[in-house]
A and B are shown apart, each in its own frame.
Chain A
Amino acid sequence: MDGAMAWTMAGDVAISVRDEGAARRVALDGALDIATVTAAARRLGEVPVDQPLELDLSHLDRIDTAGAWALCRLRARAIAAGQAVTITGADANAQSVIRTVEAAMPAPDDRPAPPASLADRLEAVGRGTARAGAFFVELCAYLGLFLVRFLRSLVVPRDFRLTALVHHCHEVGIKAVPIVALMAFLIGIVLAFQGAVQLRQFGAEIFVVELISVSILRELGILLTAIIVAGRTASAFTAAIGSMKMREEIDAMRTLGIDPALALFVPRILALVIMLPILGMIANIVGILGGALMAWVELGVSPAMFRTRLLDGVMFSNLVVGMIKAPVFAIVIGVVGCHAGMQVGGDAESLGRMTSASVVTAIFSVIVIDAMFSIFFAQVGM
């Protein structure tokens, strides 16, 4: 084999088939390698195998494993048809390559993928539904696990990780204040501005106070805060727990007698339960401030008037309706984030997949639960 001949420069291979009495002689000339193998394999595949074959390699300049594969395939076909195959003119190198390939020839691929039938698709839908159900059940199990561990840590305070709780309160709460406050301020401004345009048509400018206070206190303040926290914190929980899972730290904890649910879930979820209402409250205050500012600038509703109307109105019941939801959102976000983290497998890819899945699930759950609360409060007349 000429070592300097890379396949880019490789020439062609000529294959001649001649019947010579008792045997059919297949002579190859040139380079039988990966660059020429497609054509050569097609040509060799057309050689009829109703006679003994003689493969003459004496004019072959070069053969690699791809070329040897084509020869071995022909040989296997001939032998299956009951014909003998002899190889002549092969140098030591060619013999060695052919022997190696012969020994490693994989079983022929004889299982064409069946096209997906209607039944398959139905099955896929069914399996997807079952998976969604199982996922919901698992989330409930994690919720139960969290509650059990939390209650136990109340009974046995020694197990409670106060330092971790404070750390997570800082992470999920304090650090989220700027983004939550900015979001709420802008929402307040937008509400006041849009409301002003509409209310001015009826000369009912003053009702902008109710518009802002009801929508922010009852719905938007806490819902948008929860969505931001879901995006920020569910992903952080999943990434932190998932990378611990990936590096087998969770298994190490178990062998050391540390309960992962107690050590990892309880402080995180509890931190959310404590901090989300506070963040929601901040969002409410800043949102109303933003609205009041815009009402003053745009509609001339003075801050004093805004305050009086705000306190006279139905502020308190709206605030209660809004804040009741906060701990529920917090638990859902925390459970979804922790659960997704525990689903991470051994590879980095699943970490990324679970992180984005946890954000999507958390935000979706928050919105669904908010809708359910709306129905509930409408029914009880709050």
Chain B
Amino acid sequence: MARETVIELRGLRTQFGRHVVHDDLDLDVYRGEVLGVVGGSGTGKSVLLRAISGLLRPAAGQIRVLGVDVLAAGEQERRDLERRWGVMFQDGALFSALTVRENVEVPMRAVPGLDGPTRRALADLKVSMSGLPYKAGDNYPSELSGGMRKRAGLARALALDPEIVFLDEPTAGLDPIGAAAFDRLISDLSHSMGLTVFLVTHDLDTLHATCDRIAVLAERRVLVTGTMREMLDVDHPWVKEYFHGPRARAAQADVQAAAAES
């Protein structure tokens, strides 16, 4: 395949005590794509995200991100790598003692030679790129709504112009309008900045609106990967239920109607 692989998982195994979450899991993520990861509750989507982004050490297997073997990398190599990806946690995980602007500035503080006023201006830019009003930069996380906190979390994840962003259920708990706006934001940013997006979601609308490819997590591994259209032909009870259920049909109809309009 001509596409450049930025994340490559081989034979990944994660477990907590005797509870095995993933076993012999393989997955490839290509540069510039938005990969949607779906799966039932507790199938280990968040655990997979944490394993790739280095927050959790797998029991076995190989993880290569941007050509670096994450598990074998030295301290400095890992730090350099971490600057090339950003993670947005559920509900933002913003530092509550800092304003939104200061939150976005946190990763920028590590950049040598970046002076204070420039850093603040760049933080304001990232806040604005995430679709927040200028004034939100002065707010503390507790003063923001859930949707705004997620946008602020995205702004912080994007602070250093990463090549990969990991998003954990970015639209969970948002109203449909807010969720649709967030979908558009992810889609726009991934196109305009060439971002690779690893997107864990439950939201069928998000899958339809943003994802180039979908990976289904079931039976402790990645069951299938493919486009939305390919998912419809997969013969597996869970996948069938998921992509052919009443909600899936509604989401599909919406997208088709939108396509017909434009």
Chain A interface (Cβ < 8 Å from any Cβ of B): 1, 3-4, 6-8, 33-39, 41, 64-66, 69, 93, 96-97, 99-101, 104-107, 109, 345-350
Contacts and interface: CB of A to CB of B under 8 A. Distances in A.
B129 interface: yes
A107 B122 CA distance: 12
B235 interface: no
B208 interface: no
Nearest to A92: B194
Contact of B124 (A1, A35, A97, A109): A109
A106 B124 contact: yes
Contacts of B111: 7, 34-35
Contact of A4 (B67, B83, B113, B192): B67
A34 B124 contact: no
B31 interface: yes
Contacts, number: 88
Given A34-B160, A69-B122, A104-B128, A7 B83 contact: yes
B161 interface: yes
Contact of B122 (A4, A7, A66, A93): A66
Residue from A1, A3, A37, A106 with most neighbouring chain B CB atoms (10 Å): A106
The 7 closest A-B pairs by CB, nearest first: A347-B142, A100-B192, A104-B129, A64-B161, A106-B128, A106-B124, A104-B128
Contacts of B161: 33-34, 64-66
Nearest to B97: A349
B234 to A, nearest CB: 32
B245 to A, nearest CB: 31
Given A64-B161, A69-B125, A96 B142 contact: no
A36 B115 CA distance: 11
B99 to A, nearest CB: 14
A73 to B, nearest CB: 8
A34 B142 contact: no
A99 B115 CA distance: 25
Given A65-B126, A107-B134, A37 B112 contact: no
B193 interface: yes
